[in-house]
Structure 1
Amino acid sequence: MKPKYSFVIPIYNEESNIFELSKRLQDVAEQLDGTTEFILINDGSRDRSLILMRELHEKDSRFCYLSLARNFGHQIAVTAGLNFVRGEAIIIMDADLQDPPELAIAMAEQWRSGYQVVYAQRSKRHRENWLKRLYAYWFYRLLKRLADVDIPTDTGDFCLMDRKVVDVLNAMPERNRYLRGLRSWVGFRQTAIKFERDSRFSGERKYTFRKSFSLALNGIISFSRIPLRISTYVGLISAAIALIMACMVLYWRIVQPTAPLTGFATIHIAVFFLGAVQLVSIGILGEYIGRIYEEVKGRPIYILGEVGGFEDNQGLPQRLR
């Protein structure tokens, strides 16, 4: 029989968290009103994570696992898990236990009341430095202002989605995926559950500033054309400033030949300013062209190295059967 609930959990070097994670997931499963499966996705871990996932599967058949051939990134690992889910309600969460598994019970209640997307909204972040909190605060509000769709603030990938929503997401072929944005883009009835985000149970955080910045940039580029418009506006403003400066220099040359603003420094400042505007504009344009390049190559989004728990083929996507 197909399970009613499916948990999708990407894992990257989380061997110190897997035992506690499995224990809490099993406790949650006992409180849900239906059968449950847990899909663990090994995203190219270098520690014993895959070995522990195999052991979990041998002890409890509800634990299935996918092992990607290399590290494809968090968003792609979640996408792989969504391709394999068999449940009616799908919960996405991280393995570091900053997303409390127990919140899935409240999410399931909202789902049964008719909501098709129930996302967890962070009201507080424990043991995160002020710089990380400040960066996250302004990023989500900037994204909300720039995006073409209404992406809720202070929300990550931790959510419950109805099977209909997941089927729509699986039908989307794009490779540069920002799932919390796609989740908002598809629509359906959505609601939030507020929670306080815990600190990591064990180990070091995997999302470095560089990875967080890359994800943030991907979210903005994927759901907004405003950066392109900004570069156009800045170019027009720069052209207007350059025209005004040209008129002023011409005036001073004729009326006040000794004016200080006609000197070498003024020319240098104008050249550097216009050069910076051009380079920034080219960089923004390059981000969009790079995404077009990734899409048209048509490579698979991920490559599987090992699959456990889907031997009956019922959970395999059609293209893999």
Structure 2
Amino acid sequence: MNSSAFSKSKLPTLLSIVVPVYNEAGNISPLVDAIKKSVDNLSITYEVIFIDDGSQDGTWDAVTKVSRADPRVKGLSLSRNFGHQHAILAGYSIAEGKAVISMDGDLQHPPSLLPAMLREWQNGFKIVHTRRISHRKQPAFKRLTSKAFYWVFSLLTQVVIPEGSSDFRLLDRQVLDNITKFNDVEFFIRGVVNWIGFPATVLTYQENERFSDKSKYTFTRMFRLAVSGVVAFTSLPLKIGIWLGLFTSVLAFLEIIYIFIKFVQGVTVPGWASIVGIVSFLFGILFMILGCIGLYIANIHENLKNRPRFVIQQKVNLS
């Protein structure tokens, strides 16, 4: 694709590409080269912003090196690991582009898709989502848990996130300015972007293999992201407790009536084991409800602290 495919009057005066990285030292230079190859022929001004989320492998040195060679490449180093979502927000907070694209730093999000995303933005879409086409080498467990999460999240929140979605997306400046007004401590960007509205479209892509090293997004990290996303977007789990309580109360009341009738008829109802099982089941539900309440209280507590979502340690090519 070349620059003639675009109307220069509608192109952004500056495109910001936000790349959160964590222990990705070997991927920085190849990613910058791939972005340049994809974007340079569009004849637009752009910046690439790397957010080093507390890496310990020389990632910041790699970012500094490429930044010194090209002033369009900028870097932000956080004081510790604040998490992928907060790292993206750090990039959003300093991005100057009329259009802002976020992507991962492992080259699995193809830079070759950037021109197509810009073209959709030019066509009037304020949000350009991307959806990963199933990768046959992705572990079956990861595919299954991903499907389960999107299904449960959509069911509980009424916010539909297409399966295969990621944080590889384009946001118009108007959308970004509204998102950065959110004060939520537990911030789930995928949910916010699908909740906020604005004209949107979806592009599909085939996920690349990682250029080097292995994925840092463990099952534990994904589980935490899923829980924080649900807690941030809906109070329905708390309301489910009311319905479960009502349902079990009705069952218990019916059982009491049954036992009373049998007692009047002179029949002793056996089944201590079944009673113990029912009581254990009810206690299980009770503890799950208490756990849900605890999550929401913890979320309120974190918001009341009013701590910053991230702390900046160093900058390069940024004022």
Q: Please, what TM-score do these two structures have when normalized by structure 1?
A: 0.92
C-alpha displacement of 1:189: 0.9
* Partners of 1:98 and 1:200 within 8 A in 2: yes
The letter for the 2-side match of 1:10 is P
SS of structure 2 residue aligned to 1:160: strand
**Aligned AA for 1:134?**
L
SS in 2 for 1:67: strand
Distance 2:52 2:134 in 1: 29
Distance 1:73 1:240 in 2: 44
For the pair 1:197 / 2:207, whether they are aligned, the reply is yes
Q: Is residue 302 of structure 2 the alignment partner of residue 286 of structure 1?
A: no
1:60 is aligned to 70
Q: Report if aligned partners of 1:94, 1:158 keep a CA contact under 8 Å in 2.
A: yes
1:266 paired residue number: 274
Structure 1 residue 240, shift from structure 2 partner: 1.0
Aligned to 1:142: 152
1:316 corresponds in structure 2 to none
**Residue segments in structure 1 that go unaligned for 5+ positions in a row:** 312-321
Report the CA distance shift for 1:173/1:68 in structure 2 as closer, same or farther (over 3 A): same
Structure 1 runs of 4+ aligned residues shifted over 4 Å read none
- Which of 288, 300, 310 is the aligned partner of 2:308? 300
Q: Which amino acid aligns with 2:289?
A: S
Deviation digits for residues 95-129 of structure 1 (CA, Å, limit 9, x no counterpart): 01111111111000000111110010122224211
Q: Which aligned pairs between 1:1-321 and structure 2 lie closer than 5 A?
A: 4-261=14-271, 264-311=272-319
Contact map agreement 2:16 2:96 (CA 8 A) in 1: yes
Amino acid in the other structure paired with 1:39: I
Give the secondary-structure state (helix, strand or coil) at the position aligned to 1:290: helix
Contact 1:123–1:196 under 8 Å retained in 2: yes
Measured against aligned partners, the alpha-carbon deviations of 1:152-198 in whole angstroms (never above 9, x if no partner) come to 33211110111111111111111111001111222111000011222
Cα 1:161–1:285 shift into 2, 3 Å:
same
Once the two structures are TM-superposed, the CA of residue 3 in structure 1 deviates from its matched residue by 5.2
- Structure 2: which 5+ runs fail to align? 1-11
Q: Partners of 2:233 and 2:199 in 1: how far apart?
A: 20
For 1:161, the aligned partner's letter is: L
Deviation at 1:296, TM superposition (A): 1.1
How many aligned residue pairs are there?
Answer: 308
Do 1:6 and 1:38's aligned partners in 2 also have CA atoms closer than 8 Å?
yes
Q: CA deviation at 1:256?
A: 4.5
Secondary structure at 1:155 match in 2: coil
In 2, the alpha carbon distance for the partners of 1:149 and 1:204 equals 31
Q: Aligned to 1:161, what secondary structure does the other structure show?
A: strand
Whether the 8 Å CA contact 1:3–1:34 is kept in 2: the answer is yes
CA deviation vs aligned residue, 1:27-82 (integer Å, no higher than 9, x gap)? 12213341110000000001010011111111111110000000000000000000
* Distance across 2 between alignment mates of 1:224 and 1:164: 25
Find the aligned partners of 1:83 and 1:259 in 2 and give their Cα distance.
67
Normalising to structure 2: TM-score of the pair?
0.92
Which residue identity does 1:270 align to in structure 2? I
| Separation (CA, whole Å) in 1 of partners of 2:237 and 2:13 | 44
Deviation for aligned residue 1:300: 0.9
Root mean square deviation, CA, Å: 1.5
Write the deviation string for residues 12-39 of structure 1: whole angstroms up to 9, x where unpaired.
Answer: 0011211211110111221334111000
CA shift for structure 1 position 204? 1.3
Cα drift, residue 148 of structure 1: 3.4
Task: Name the stretch that deviates more: 152-161 or 106-115.
Answer: 152-161
Q: Offset of 1:309 from its aligned partner?
A: 1.0
Alignment partner, residue 319 of structure 1: none
